[in-house]
Chain A
C-alpha cells in the first residue's frame, strides 16, 4: 500500500511539473506576437509595457521566464495590470461562492444519479429505463448556461420563486444563502445527473453479472441487501472517481458559465470577466491553480480508491 501511494504521488508530481511547463508554453511561447503585450492587457501604456517586460523577464532566456512566472504565480504576486489589482486577493474573495456551488451541486448530482441509476438498472430495457436513457442524452446535450438561462427566465423572471442571481454569504444569512444557491445547484447538476446515472446503470449491470453476486444470492440474502452491500459497493467505485474529478473541475473554475449567469461573484465569474477584458494574468493564475487542484484531488481520490478496493494496489 505504501508503495502504491508513493508511486502515485511521484507520478502526480511529474504531472504537476509538466502542467506548469505547458501552462507557461500556452501563455508565453505558443501564441504569435509579444507576450508582454498580452500580459499588460488592452491599451496598456508604454511604461506598463516596459515594466511587464522587466518584471516577467521577457528579455531573458525561456527557462528564466518560466522560473519568473512560477515564482509570481505561487507567491501570489501576480497583478492584473488593467485594474492594477492583486489576482490572489480576488481569488480568495471568490472562493466561498465557488465552494458553496461545487459542494452543494455535487451532493445533489451524486444522490440524484444514484437514485436514477438504481431505478433504471432494476428494469433494464423497460419503459422507465428507456425514458431515463433519452432524458440523459438530452440533459448532456444542453449547454449548462442554457438550462440556467431558461430556469432564470421562468422561475425568477416570469414567476418569482427564486431570486434573480446574486450571492449571499452563508455567514450573513443561511436561508438567504440557500435561497440564492438552489437554482444554480440544480442547473449545474442536471447534466451530471444524466451522465452519472448512465455510468452507474451500466456499472450495476456489469457487477450483477459477477460471480460474487451469484454467491450472495445463494446465501439467501434479500434483494435489497445484495444491491446495497454487494452490487452498489462495487458499482459506485467508478462513480466516485468521476465525482472527484468533476468536483475538482468545478472548484478549479469549471463553473465559469453558471457563476456568470447567476452572478455568483465566484472564481469562475472572475475568470469570465477577465476573458471579456482579455486580461491574461488572472486567467493564467486560475488555470494553473484550478488544474493543480484537479491533479491533487484526483490523486487523493485514487489513493482512497485503493483503500476501498484492495485489488487496485496490485495493479499499476
Chain B
C-alpha cells in the first residue's frame, strides 16, 4: 500500500502554539487534493486531540497516514491517562482546570467531537502510562 506518513511533535509547555500541528496537517492535505469536506472533519478532529494533549498530557505526538482510500491519525501521549474512558466520552464531561476553561477550552466536547467527525475512533488509555487515540476517515464514501 502506498502511504504517506506525516509526523508532528506537539509541545506541552507552550499553550499559545496549540493548534499548529493540526493547521499544518490541514495545509498538507489541501496540497494532496483531498476533498474540502474531509479536510474540515480531519482538521476538527486533530485540533481537538491536539488541544487535549496540551491541556491534559503535557504534549505528545501526532502521526498521520495518508492512503489513497483512507487517512488514519494516531495521537499518543505519556500523560496521566484517563481513569474512566466511558465517562470521558460523554458530551460535556470535563476534568479541565478552571483557568483552562476560562480560556474557552475544556468544554467537554473534545473526545465526542473526535468521534463525531471521523469514521472510526478508538480510545486506549492507562492511568500513569498515557493515552492513545486512533481515528480513521475514509476518502471514497
Answer whether A and B are interacting partners. Answer: no
Residue positions of A touching B, CB distance < 8 A? none
